[in-house]
Copies of this chain bind each other. A is one copy, B any other.
């Protein structure tokens, strides 16, 4: 127990015994991960309760629906091996290279490199690779723990640094548990009929505290090693027990995962791989339920300091809204897929086709710009970490809520209607139907019909199917829905200053 946290002491129920797993015991289950394969294996053998389609999932790692999401995350490990300059960085904390997804941001350039890595990952996987929210959580906790300590004399920042050393050494995946179910949106956490609709502390012992609640649509929930829980919105004095930040291993006692389904998810259960569009990679969102889950004090990074909740959320969204630059990697895939199908159809020379590819690229690079600019304009925070420019991060994300939809529409335009009328892969393999289909779906000579099939299915996958979830709807709502960005832009637009510019030029002299 942290002796500096004297005010916690008063709230601790000393009658409760402490037969809970210690922080050290929790870490003891890990060993350093190097490759994607190591990572996949690291997920095996965990005692985790997960439901999908009304059943307990016995072996999630090898489940055909789940595995693509694991593959996408695994790619973050392999990329670090293949291209260390891009995907690793030197950590001052452990004086060694670490995966950039665990790196503490030491400069604006670190943020730019993060953006480049994110775009690259998007190009390689065509989906959400699920490791950004954790990285952005790590980043925000660096400065927030520091700031709380400055005000309250707590030692959260040291706990944080201690955790991060082990996290970096073991090269783990941190998942971000942020979004509470929220219930009735017109009510505050403490006003909800069911308090569990926002995660909160249920009791405190000398060893740690217990939380109850749920984190909704948690990206890569199961695929994480540790989950950082944190408040989802600004809190008031009455919401003190909701002001909790803690780190929990994904296989901690009391956790339940319920898998979110996606458009076309069950195609992964079909024979064949063509109709999946992108058979190897996919995303994952889950509801993660916390039923009185224990967190030892060493892993508690906020407990009651409600006044920091708003700033924490604000900094998190600043980091995370720029992380949506990953969608430009998916956008690159969309441009490539649209160009490829136009070529397969024999239409690539048409001026309107090229013009649409240009438009797609223009929109995609516009998104990229906002992220890079936001990172470049990063400012140093007192804790020694850099934070990217919040206005431009919001602008980046706001463009992400619009442009992928238009890029997607243009890709469907170039794909042609066949994208949604193509018979199944199994029909192409049938002894009677197959030859008929191959005869009639022949496009440009020399292009195998199967290539056309595959490219159409990829575009379907990204615009209607499984990865449309990530490319479109998640682009809309992830890191905050459009209106959240507009509110943030409103707050930061410095309209008074701009009114002064206008008054000066208009020759208006305010007499005060």
Contacts and interface: CB of A to CB of B under 8 A. Distances in A.
Nearest to A344: B508
Candidate in A346, A357, A417 with the most chain B CB atoms within 10 angstroms = A417
A200 to B, nearest CB: 14
B53 A495 contact: no
Interface in A161-192: 181, 183-186
A1 interface: no
A15 to B, nearest CB: 28
A396 interface: yes
A448 to B, nearest CB: 9
Given A126-B505, A455-B502, A395 B369 contact: yes
A53 B498 contact: no
A155 interface: no
A195 to B, nearest CB: 11
A141 interface: no
Interface string A408-441: 0100110011111111111101101100110111
Given A280-B505, A502-B337, A481 B287 contact: no
A28 interface: no
A101 interface: no
A317 to B, nearest CB: 14
A423 B469 contact: no
A479 to B, nearest CB: 10
Contacts of A423: 51-52, 258-261, 287
Contacts of A126: 501, 505
Contact of A52 (B373, B424, B440, B478): B424
B495 A357 contact: yes
Interface in A446-462: 451, 454-455, 457-458, 460
Contact of A184 (B336, B445, B469): B445
Interface stretch (A3-11, A225-233, A348-356): A348-356
Contact of A442 (B197, B259, B409, B442): B197
The dominant DSSP class at the A interface is helix
A419 B419 CA distance: 23
Contacts of A374: 369
Given A181-B441, A369-B373, A464-B464, A489 B358 contact: yes
A441 B505 CA distance: 21
A150 interface: no
A435 to B, nearest CB: 11
A482 interface: yes
Contact of A481 (B277, B357, B413): B413
Given A423-B259, A433-B54, A281 B505 contact: yes
A431 to B, nearest CB: 9
A196 interface: yes
Interface stretch (A203-211, A239-247, A262-270): A262-270
Given A277-B506, A489-B362, A445 B193 contact: yes
A366 interface: yes
A335 to B, nearest CB: 5
Contacts of A63: none
A308 interface: no
Interface in A360-399: 361-362, 365-366, 368-374, 376-377, 391-392, 395-396, 398-399
Contacts of A409: 402, 405, 472, 476
Nearest to A503: B340
B261 A263 contact: no
A217 interface: yes
Given A184-B346, A376-B376, A502-B333, A421 B216 contact: yes
A218 to B, nearest CB: 9
18 contacts: A51-B423, A52-B427, A53-B424, A54-B425, A54-B429, A185-B443, A194-B442, A196-B439, A256-B433, A287-B436, A287-B440, A340-B503, A352-B486, A370-B373, A417-B481, A451-B506, A454-B506, A464-B472
Given A185-B347, A186-B346, A451-B506, 7 more contacts: A52-B423, A197-B442, A217-B418, A289-B436, A336-B495, A369-B369, A405-B405
